[in-house]
Every structure is written in C-alpha cells, then in structure tokens.
C-alpha cells in the first residue's frame, strides 16, 4: 500500500503563472512522463492508432451532446438554464467547432468559407486518419475496443455531470492531458517511423507551430475555473481534476501496454473509491471485469460488504488514513477499518488475506467497472469453507 501525500498547491497561484500551466505542472509532477513518450514499436503503433482514431472521432460528438440532460432538466422544471450550464456549453461548442475544422476555416476565409465546413475531411479526426494511414501504409478504421469504449463512456459521464465543478474539472483535465498526449505521441511516432514531423498534419494543427489549437482549448477550459469554482471549493476541484486526468492517462497506459487490436478485458485498470462522506478516498488496480465474493458471516451480513481481494501494493490511499478506525473480534486476525465520520468500511485486512486487502466493490466508482461476477462464500462456516477453497 502506498499513501499519496496531498498536494499543498492550490488554484491561488501568482499572476505570472497561468492556471493552465500550473495544473499541467501538477499533473506532470503527480504522474511523471506521459506513457506515449516511451518507445513504441511499429506493431504497437498499428494496434494503438486505430483506437486513438476512435477516440478522436467520438470525442466532439460526446462533448457536443454531453449536457443535453441538463437542458431537458430545465425544460422539465420549466426554468431557465443555470449560468454554469451556459458557460460549460459555450466552451464545449467552441471545442467542437474547432475539432470539426470550422474555426480554422472561418479564420482563414471569413464568412465566405462557411460552405467549406461541409467538407468533413477537414475534421481533425480525419486529419489523424490520414497521418496514421500514411505511417502504416494502409487505411485504418476506428477500433472501439472494450477499453476504448469504456474510457469514452467514463469521459462522457464526467463531461455530463450535474455538478458544475466535476463537469469543469473533466473539461479542463481532458484538454490539458490532450496537449501532453498529442505532443508525446507526435515525437514518438516520428522516431518510430523515421517520419518528418511537419508532414503529420493532425499533430501540427494541434500542438505545432506558433498558433496550435490545443493552446486555445486549454485556455478556454481553464477560464471556466474562475467562473465556476469558488475559492472554498479549490481542493474539491483539484481532487476531481486529478481523477479526471488520471482517467485519460490510464487509457493511454492501457493502449501502450497491449498490442491486441481487440483490447484485453483482463488487463488491470485503476479504480477510484471512497467512503460515503468522502473523507477516505483510494485507488485500487484490478481488472475492469471484477470477480467478487459475497460472504454470509455475521459482520458481512450486517454491513453488506462485497469483497474483492487484492495484494497490498494494488491499493493506494489518496486521503483519509487518519480518519480510519480499526475493529477486531473473534481471533483478532482480520483488521476491519471503518471511516469514523460516516461508518462505511471501504476496505480492510481480511483473515484470508492479512498481508493484502479486501476492497468493498460497493465503494468503487462504477465508470471503470465493465462487469461484476459475484460468488458466494460460506463465512458462517469459515474454517471449512476456506479449506474447501484452497483444496480447489
């Protein structure tokens, strides 16, 4: 188990440091070099690029439609749209306009260029497809693998949150991560394929030259922070930003770590979890398809705990270790840890795995879970059941 030290940094930065740069530095300090900065073979690239294309293709549509439920809610309640919805919507609209080529076309040709927005080959995702197809020597198609579809669903969940701070954090995190991701992938692909950097149109448009698109994506999303995040909510915003940035980073790690074009549902992802009040927050690495256990012992029946056993090094406490209290009974081997504020048991050291953890699946964020398969364990007859389990 490792304990993450909370960052002392906040959003009240000196004026000479733009908030976007501060957050980008924070992410680099927390996560290190981007996964795409590592050496990638041509085989890995052949697997990675179709999934990246899928993300690039889907993102503007997900962003464009992410806040429709907030509009329908206003219609249902017969009231005007809240200011926070107006703000996140107008920035989202700008990003979608740019991703589909409209912004650059009108900048270059004025209103006379408006008919050219119907030329969908100017969409940024199409620029990427041309670059990738040129590098691979063949046309590529989008690959909406299990991992990429799961990532896009989780991303859309954050972008469509009813909580303005969560929605803002996901917009900012996606764009700041995109700048790091695109730059790292550009550099790596040039090395892998011995290509000319200036020939890769998608990358040049996003992060190259004197006026790259990602500069404005980052600036416009970070401007939302001063509009939507009160000073007393800075820490909550930073928590949500870290979580949202980690979501995109984890997808990239998974792409680099597997050469299979169909994804690997057994590969580990980083799940986030918390107690009910949020005083205890943690991360755990486990498959997206979770195998869990439901026990009928006295304490599990009362608490409703659903077990996922993991090794010690798979669990990382983000905050709240100081509010955990321990309860033991019977043989005093298991160490049941509860949040002393809300009483929830998010994880503990079980008798069957005292050097590791049992994580309460009910405390995990559902957006990273593909499926849960639950087996019964006869905890009322613990000794007999554990002997039978080991015999199997």
Closest CA to 120 of 132, 144, 102: 102
Burial 116-143, CB ≥16 within 10 A → b, else e: ebeeeeebbbbbbbebbeebeeeebebb
Polymer length in residues for the chain: 392
Q: What beta strand segments (E) does 115-164 contain?
A: none
- Whether the per-residue pLDDT at 210 is higher than 80: the answer is no
Find the farthest-apart pair of alpha carbons in the chain and give their distance in angstroms, rounded. Answer: 80
* Residues 246, 250, 251, 253, Cα dihedral to 10°: 140
Q: What is the pLDDT of residues 95-129, one digit of tens each?
A: 999 999 888 888 889 999 899 889 999 899 999 99
Low-confidence winner among 10-24, 156-170, 174-188, 351-365 (lowest mean pLDDT): 10-24
Helix (H) or strand (E) holding 152: helix 146-159
- Please give the mean pLDDT across all residues of the chain: 88
Q: What is the pLDDT of residues 263-318, one digit of tens each?
A: 444 567 889 999 999 999 999 999 989 999 999 988 998 999 999 999 888 899 98
User: For residue 250, what are the β-bridge partners?
Assistant: none
Q: Which comes out higher in pLDDT, residue 236 or 13?
A: 236
CA atoms of 321 and 337, how far apart (whole Å): 10
- Whether the per-residue pLDDT at 3 is higher than 70: the answer is no
Handedness of CA 163, 166, 172, 178 (dihedral sign): negative
Q: How far is CA 286 from each of CA 267, 270, 282, 359, 370, rounded to the nearest angstrom?
A: 8, 7, 13, 10, 11
Edge to edge, the sheet with strand 371-377 lists 324-327, 335-339, 347-349, 357-360, 306-310, 289-295, 371-377
Owner of token pair 């995040």: 229
Q: What is the pLDDT of residues 139-151, one digit of tens each?
A: 999 999 988 998 9
Residue 300 neighbours by CB under 8 Å, 6+ apart: 294, 307, 379
Helix (H) or strand (E) holding 224: helix 213-228
Residue 185 has what pLDDT? Answer: 97
3 state SS of 124: helix
Q: What is the pLDDT of residues 154-168, one digit of tens each?
A: 999 999 999 999 999
Is the CB of residue 324 less than 8 Å from the CB of residue 340?
yes
- Whether the per-residue pLDDT at 251 is higher than 70: the answer is yes
Residue 1 has what pLDDT? Answer: 41
CA atoms of 103 and 106, how far apart (whole Å): 5
CA atoms of 270 and 147, how far apart (whole Å): 12
Q: Which comes out higher in pLDDT, residue 4 or 131?
A: 131
Is the CB of residue 27 less than 8 Å from the CB of residue 180?
yes
Give all domains of the chain, ordered by start, each with its CATH number: 2-264 (1.20.910.10), 270-391 (2.170.150.70)
């Amino acid at each position: 188990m490792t304990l993450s030290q909370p960052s002392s940094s906040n959003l009240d930065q000196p004026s000479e440091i733009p908030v976007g740069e501060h957050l980008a530095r924070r992410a680099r300090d927390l996560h290190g070099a981007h996964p795409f900065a590592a050496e990638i073979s041509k085989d890995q690239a052949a697997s990675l690029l179709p999934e990246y294309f899928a993300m690039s293709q889907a993102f503007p549509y997900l962003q464009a439609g992410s806040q429709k439920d907030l509009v329908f809610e206003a219609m249902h309640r017969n009231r005007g749209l809240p200011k926070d919805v107006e703000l996140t919507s107008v920035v989202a609209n700008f990003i979608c306009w740019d991703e589909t080529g409209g912004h650059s076309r009108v900048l270059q040709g004025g209103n006379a260029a408006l008919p050219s927005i119907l030329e969908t080959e100017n969409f940024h995702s199409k620029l990427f497809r041309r670059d990738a197809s040129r590098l691979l020597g063949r046309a590529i198609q989008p690959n909406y693998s299990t991992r990429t579809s799961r990532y896009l669903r989780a991303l859309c969940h954050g972008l469509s949150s009813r909580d303005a701070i969560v929605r803002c954090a996901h917009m900012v995190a996606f764009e700041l991560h995109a700048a790091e991701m695109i730059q790292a992938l550009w550099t790596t692909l040039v090395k892998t394929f011995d290509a000319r950097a200036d020939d890769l149109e998608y990358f040049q448009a996003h992060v190259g030259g004197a006026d790259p698109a990602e500069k404005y994506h980052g600036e416009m999303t970070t401007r939302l922070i001063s509009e939507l995040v009160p000073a007393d909510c800075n820490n909550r915003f930073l928590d949500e930003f870290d979580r949202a940035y980690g979501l995109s980073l984890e997808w990239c790690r998974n792409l680099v770590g597997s050469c299979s074009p169909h994804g690997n549902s057994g590969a580990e992802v980083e799940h986030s979890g918390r107690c009910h009040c949020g005083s205890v927050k943690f991360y755990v690495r486990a498959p997206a398809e979770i195998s869990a256990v439901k026990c009928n012992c006295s304490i599990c029946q009362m608490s409703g705990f659903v077990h996922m056993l993991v090794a010690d090094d798979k669990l990382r406490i983000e905050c709240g270790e100081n509010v955990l209290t321990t309860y033991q009974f019977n043989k005093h081997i298991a160490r049941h840890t509860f949040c002393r504020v809300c009483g929830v048991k998010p994880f503990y050291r079980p008798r069957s795995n005292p050097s590791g953890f049992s994580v309460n699946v009910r405390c995990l964020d559902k957006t990273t879970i593909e499926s849960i398969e639950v087996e019964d364990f006869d905890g009322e007859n613990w000794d007999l059941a554990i002997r039978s389990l080991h015999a199997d």
